[in-house]
Amino acid sequence: DAKTTQPPSMDCAEGRAANLPCNHSTISGNEYVYWYRQIHSQGPQYIIHGLKNNETNEMASLIITEDRKSSTLILPHATLRDTAVYYCIVANNNAGNMLTFGGGTRLMVKP
Amino acid sequence: NAGVTQTPKFRILKIGQSMTLQCTQDMNHNYMYWYRQDPGMGLKLIYYSVGAGITDKGEVPNGYNVSRSTTEDFPLRLELAAPSQTSVYFCASSDSGTGYSPLHFGNGTRLTVT
């Protein structure tokens, strides 16, 4: 699976959009971009995933560049409860979902 | 649905002791996984299972054993606990249908080996 690079930490003001970047320059054609987050002391939670088109759900939006070498997770109106570690993972979509969780980005939403 | 349930929540072991971390899911998922998370780090896959009776090693299987006799349960066994196994252990499950099935995680077991 391709490796991802994320900033170790970011701050965001409550109510503003949080934009979390992820670089995955070695992504291959059949690999998807997945985002999970881990709120303190809990198990990770799925947020969103995509292949090449931008995706949106009730939690977030995922913007993938045209060359697929990077992506951005957008939380449109961050709340204090969005404070968490956000993991960007690249893997193929084969059954089994053996995802590799790296260090992630620690997002701190501040009042 | 309770989702993925892990027991116990906390445990302290002495070096050389053994224990079983329990994991059960009520979503009828075929795939189950065990991860460990050391302080400040990401998650590492220990073992996984694609169905009852089938298990396979992940990235860091040494010192652990698993079994999968039913769809619901996927216990993780530590035979000879070592300080290096101090960690938070997460169990997860996912469906095996077509398309992507997100991982559903339990809330973890915090294990200290002294």
pLDDT 10s digits, B87-102: 999 999 998 766 778 8
User: What residues of chain B lie within 8 A of the CB of A95, using their CB?
Assistant: 31, 50, 96
Q: Shortest CB distance from B31 goes to which of A45, A97, A103?
A: A97
Is residue A96 over pLDDT 60?
Answer: no
Is residue B39 over pLDDT 90?
Answer: no
- Cα angle, residue B96 at apex, residues B94 and B101 outer, rounded to 5°: 50
List the one residue out of A73, A70, A69 whose CA is nearest residue A59.
Answer: A73
- Asked whether the beta carbons of B10 and B21 are under 8 A apart, the reply is no
* Mean pLDDT confidence for A91-98: 68
Say what the pLDDT of residue B41 is. 87
How far is CA B7 from each of CA A39, A58, A90, A100, B59, rounded to the nearest angstrom? 20, 31, 30, 24, 23
Q: Quick one: CA dihedral A32, A35, A41, A43, positive or negative?
A: negative
Q: What is the pLDDT of residues A12-33, one digit of tens each?
A: 999 999 999 999 999 988 889 9
Q: Which two tokens stand for residue B90?
A: 């997460």
* Mean pLDDT confidence for A70-89: 96
Confidence of residue A92 (pLDDT cuts 50, 70, 90): confident
How far is CA A86 from each of CA A4, A8, A9, B62, rounded to the nearest angstrom? 12, 10, 10, 28
CB contact under 8 A, B105 and A93: no
Pick from A34, A87, A98, A105 the residue to mutate for testing the B interface (most B CBs within 10 Å). A98
Q: Before B102, cis peptide (omega within 30)?
A: no
How far is CA A11 from each of CA A34, A40, A82, rounded to the nearest angstrom? 21, 16, 11
* Mean pLDDT confidence for B45-61: 94
Mean pLDDT of chain A: 92
CB contact under 8 A, B105 and A98: no
- Asked whether the beta carbons of A84 and A20 are under 8 A apart, the reply is no
Separate counts of helices (H) and strands (E) for chain B: 0, 11
List the one residue out of B94, B96, B100 whose CA is nearest residue B3.
Answer: B94
